Structure 1
């Protein structure tokens, strides 16, 4: 019998009892006690790649920005051009420091003409809400942290659409199946307001559902019930991390941080220097990267030993000084070999460049590869960034 340790102290999700009943193992994540796995993280990972996984993401921060000048306030606060979003459109963007570093990466949803939802990382909830509030001063808008009022549940995988279409009691103004990537719709489920977005953090098709905490457990259980015939299983944070790594998606605190510029991680496109006015971090973003700034690359290697965050990268099998550092790494469940993301010297960032990861005193040969490591085979529905 598998031993599932009792959750420790920390903030508990509104779905906590459901996780305990399902036999989840817990981990501390940004002060929350969240399910890290239910049975096998490999089984959960593979379910998302082949069928569907159900994730509790209620630790994420949800911040409401509303008012006649909400769009203009977000244009000033964030790196993207938010006021140009259509109602029902979402955008991945960055909250920058005046020096051009990253406070957080967020997704902004325009749900109404003068109403936007900003979803930030759990560990940056107060930093993001505080920065948005300060940057909204002088604009006719309000900023409200709604994190404690909302639950976030994600259905991710190639059968996610089938599962949502099977959910009884869902009433939305447009068919769920017609939603393109980075689009959202607000409707009701069993009489309760719900927002459904075709977004995710796994590299697969999927949806993220926002609902008031009082109705979260009922929604969770209903999704598991209708999803079971489609292969849906609950999935924890461990497999979410390997899924996003395979998809080449950055994680704050690993590939993103206050001392990291967006251009270093391939996110220069999220900083709109043309077509919009001033924003926090603009002046710094107009300056080219310093000569010694390292760039984020993918690293692929053979065998079973994977580089982990903090491991040094070298350009020779022995001797010499480090030329980079791993930010995230794992043995890829989908690809069957070790993968990692790392910051390396710019001269060594071209695909095919041979490098070596120091794995506990042994240098493992690796090759620079383009990100992402994995792309799903089904056509992706795209909208302009």
Structure 2
């Protein structure tokens, strides 16, 4: 009888171990919320400021920073409370104040030294700290410091949150050594404090998908860093899900809309040609402050969104959802303009947005 009990216990342990290792997604806590209906409609003010095609917006201090893909520069900056002038910098070249790469890893923060931009460069092997105030005045990039990244986190797949040279966190995107062998590595979150590194296994098991386009869509998203560097949020693009990462406690809390599909759904897509019509572009863009998370959302498929971009006559509106850093939804509202990037200024309580044509709008959003 005793031997039989031991067999049963061993079997339960094996099953428990299998269950733990059969997870595609495993945060410390998963909060499922009901669908958030729109509670208000905001009327915007169109400002006499023209940006290029902007992929991200940041508001820091009094500066509104747009990340663009122009051939001569990638940063466009204005001070909307003072004037309508847009100053462009972020030139390409080989000097200290130039950039070798088009950066995709950019963070803005307001420090005691003034507003700064942290920008990856050189194959993401270094982080350049840009003096935003001086660069704006001079109309050219002024790099005040260069931080060399450890070799273990060099590469385009790494997004690094640099607190200091020896204190940082990173998010590593989906990666592979050779795409021909169809062996892929799940995204991961890492923390390094004074040389001691910890890796958080958010995705214990990779989705059983051979097609890289489908697999990369499953893990697609963006990372937004809270200005005080206490937390960041991973915003999933094609799942109605965000992951709130506590950078001090090294914990992850997932917040998912209950009715939306999860990671398993991607295994039902049989061909990459079906991705555009099978997936919804839930999160188009996001912006964060020390107190709030803003999500620019959609309930349309990728295919429908692509049609809107080329046909301005298709009726569409933008939806913005505001949450706190515990994942609680505070407010949601509709905006008549078709926005592609947003940023919020807590002091003035203005939400700024840029549309597909580079036009700048602002909306009064009181949250207190």
TM range (shorter): under 0.3
Superposition TM-score, scaled by structure 1 size: 0.25
Q: Hey, which of these two has a bigger chunk of strand by percent?
A: 2
Superposition TM-score, scaled by structure 2 size: 0.26
Q: Hey, which of these two has a bigger chunk of helix by percent?
A: 1
